Amino acid sequence: MQAADRRDAVTAGVATATALGLRVDETTVLQDSNRVTLRLLPCDVLVQVAREAHGAAPFEIDLAQRLAATGSPVAVPDPRVPPRVYPQQGFQVSLWTYYPSVRRPEDAPAEYAGALRRLHAGLRGLDVAAPHFTERVEQAQRLVADHDRTPALADADRAFLGDTLRELHRSVTARTTTDQLLHGEPHPGNVLATPDGMRFIDLETCCRGPVEFDLAHAPEPVAEHYPDVDRDLLRDCRILTSAIATTWRWDRDDHFPDGARLGIEWLEELRSALERHRPDRRR
């Protein structure tokens, strides 16, 4: 968020927690992107604040509760307050249990893979309306084609991203044989390595697709511990998810920290990844 929006979001989060009877003496911003994540003390609650237009919080709360009921490794809403979205000053505020992290999740790839398998098992048992992963690809394609939304993207880079998204979209859908409900972005930033095991957060990205699409977001060693992975499909999904993330960094409305620099870096990494795998893709 922009500085003024972030300040207002923090105010809304604190006001909501206070109105619910939780004591707040200290506020720490843990994450700032399309929404702000706060840790409030001494009540020790995790608060997520997004603009009302964001609209994902009710879905996320419902999905987290349904998954928790199956024993899936997810973060859950704070039990001290009703599990719902609280409107506050033009924002959506939700309150979650705070889990301390004991290490980086990527330091334990086997545990990471096991937790992801359990999450996938829980997701398979739910009947939830969610977009297909291809909708995310198509959104990125529209963004690349929109010069007004991506004014800083050079013509050559625009053509490269457009071609890459189109080619990988076709390749991944052609290889995919089984779809299921997925987390959508189970990268290390969305995994907490807590004292009682790993838990997944930020379920707003839930979508349908092959498990390889989820694995593409995790560190490479994680896939070594996940059974029955289609390696060719996983490779294509890794490059595809990289192309999508790179495209988002060129959006003029993107507020990802240091996004402009990352957009340039990720373009070069994407070119290198394609060059490394191009001989394999021709077979």
Q: What is the pLDDT of residues 136-161, one digit of tens each?
A: 999 999 999 999 999 999 999 999 99
pLDDT in tens, 185-232: 999 999 999 999 999 999 999 999 999 999 999 999 999 999 999 999
pLDDT in the model for residue 5: 84
H-run or E-run covering 111: helix 109-124
Question: Do the Cβ atoms of 34 and 5 come closer than 8 Å?
Answer: no
Contacting residues for 3 by C-beta, under 8 A, at least 6 apart: none
pLDDT in the model for residue 283: 43
Count of other CB atoms within 10 angstroms of residue 226: 21
Per CATH, the number for 3-97 is 3.30.200.20
Question: Do the Cβ atoms of 265 and 162 come closer than 8 Å?
Answer: no
Tokens found for residue 105: 């999740």
Q: What is the mean pLDDT of the chain?
A: 93
Closest C-alpha among 85, 108, 109, 105 to residue 95: 85
Q: Which CATH class is domain 105-276?
A: alpha beta
Q: Which residues of the chain have pLDDT under 50?
A: 282-283
User: What's the predicted TM-score (pTM) here?
Assistant: 0.92
- From CA 112, how far away is CA 226, in angstroms rounded? 9
Q: One fold for both 3-97 and 105-276? A: no
**Helix ranges (DSSP H) in 1-154:** 3-19, 57-69, 109-124, 133-145
Question: Do the Cβ atoms of 213 and 237 come closer than 8 Å?
Answer: yes
pLDDT in the model for residue 280: 54
Listed by start position, the domains of the chain span: 3-97, 105-276
Tokens found for residue 277: 């795998």
